[in-house]
Amino acid sequence: MPKHAVIIGRAGQLGTELVREFTARGWTVTGFDRRALNITDPVAVEECLAAAEPDVVLNAAAYNQVDVAESEPLAAYMVNGLAVRNLAVACRQADAQLVHFSTDYVFDGTAGRAYLETDAPHPLSAYGVSKLAGEFYARAYEDRNLVVRTCGVFGPAGRHTARGNFVEMMLRLAGQQQTSNQPIRVVEDHVASPTYAPELARLTADLVERGVTGVVHGGGEVALSWYDYARLIFRCAGLDPVLKATNEREYRTAAKRPKYSALANGVAAAAGIAPMPDLETCVRRYLELR
Ligand SMILES: NC(=O)c1ccc[n+]([C@@H]2O[C@H](COP(=O)([O-])OP(=O)(O)OC[C@H]3O[C@@H](n4cnc5c(N)ncnc54)[C@H](OP(=O)(O)O)[C@@H]3O)[C@@H](O)[C@H]2O)c1
């Protein structure tokens, strides 16, 4: 009998790809969007997972508004922290494995190199703290838990979600520049490893099928500044807008962000899982699907 995966947050960038990937691998897949299951409701979560009888529950739902979280930390904590406890408790009761997703923002970015799973977290923001709380809840209640930390996710579903992604934002700003004549300003003093959602879904399914548990990094293979990432996007899209490098001091945001938060996928590599393609290949694939 095929194994059953429940995918929470199925309408998001990653949720969409998890549904596609696990279905393609022959799993029985049941997806829930926020309307079908709000994970902040512990009774609804427990009833839903008890009825579904899944082997694995993958939680791709999240509160991702990093700057807004500074003015509403409780809202972030409810979804990214306490709701993960709801899922972990219900998974334990339903004898299902919990796969949860976290972020590079659990780190403070001071290491100056890509972070490994063994590095100690030290978040700088309400969002980062809420995501770290979610990691702890996933690990506290469910023994076979897998926590996959990722970074700068972009996937085809981001064209339609309220939050979108960095590629969509750059393409939108380039379009607006034709009338506004304003340069596009992107920070050059923050480095990340942008991650293509279909590749993250593939890596996750590989981890699950190999029985890897614990904290695992699933970031894109290339570490670069957001400014260089914007340049790469425009090159791949055949666009040439006026782009200006800025920095944290000039471009203030409500939330403090780690300066260097690329992730190194040490555990996945040690498990023999194939690396993701380079970032340019991923961006070109993304643009072909638009
Ligand atoms: N996007 C990034 O750059 C990034 C970076 C690092 C880590 N991550 C992590 O990667 C994972 C996937 O991110 P993503 O980019 O796929 O996010 P996304 O596209 O924003 O999708 C998140 C989904 O969660 C749903 N959701 C929010 N609150 C919910 C609730 N209370 N109950 C049920 N569903 C709820 C949202 O529904 P609505 O649209 O209805 O709100 C949305 O469909 C998350 O854990 C995120 O924290 C993302």
Q: Ligand 1, residues 21, 32, 34, 170: which to mutate, most atoms within 8 A of Cβ?
A: 34
* Ligand 1 nearest atom to the CA of residue 162, by list position: 39
Q: Which atom of ligand 1 sits closest to the CA of residue 166? A: 3
User: What does the buried/exposed string (b/e) look like for 170-199 if buried means 16 or more CB atoms within 10 Å of the residue's CB?
Assistant: bbebbeebeeeeeebbbbbbbbbbbbbbbb
**pLDDT at 206 (0 to 100):** 98
pLDDT of residue 181: 82
Query: Mind listing the domains of the chain with CATH numbers?
Result: 4-155+194-221+261-277 (3.40.50.720)
**Look-up: residue for tokens 């981890």?**
207
pLDDT of residue 98: 98
pLDDT in tens, the chain (290 residues): 889 999 999 999 999 999 999 999 999 999 999 999 999 999 999 999 999 999 999 999 999 999 999 999 999 999 999 999 999 999 999 999 999 999 999 999 999 999 999 999 999 999 999 999 999 999 999 899 999 999 999 999 999 998 899 999 999 999 999 888 899 999 999 999 999 999 999 999 999 999 999 999 999 999 999 999 999 999 999 999 999 999 999 999 999 999 999 999 999 999 999 999 999 999 999 999 98
**In angstroms, what is the span from residue 144 Cα to ligand 1's centroid?**
23
Please give the distance, rounded to the nearest whole angstrom, from the Cα atom of residue 65 to the centre of ligand 1.
9
What pLDDT shows up at residue 290?
86
Among residues 77, 105, 115, 127, the one annotated as catalytic is 127
Distance 63 CA to ligand 1 centre (A): 6
Distance in angstroms (rounded) separating the CA atoms of residues 26 and 72: 41
Instruction: Using the atom order of ligand 1, give the atom closest to the CA of residue 105.
Output: 6
Atom number of ligand 1 nearest to Cα 163: 20
64 alpha carbon to ligand 1 midpoint, in Å? 6
Q: Which residues have C-beta atoms less than 6 Å from ligand 1? A: 9, 11-15, 33-34, 38-40, 60-64, 79, 83, 101, 103, 150-153, 161-163
Q: How far is the CA of 92 from the centre of ligand 1 (A)?
A: 23
Nearest CA to ligand 1 atom 46: 62
Overall size of the chain counted in residues: 290
- Residue with the smallest CA separation from ligand 1 atom 37 is 34
Examine the residue annotation and report whether 127 is marked as an active-site residue of this protein.
yes
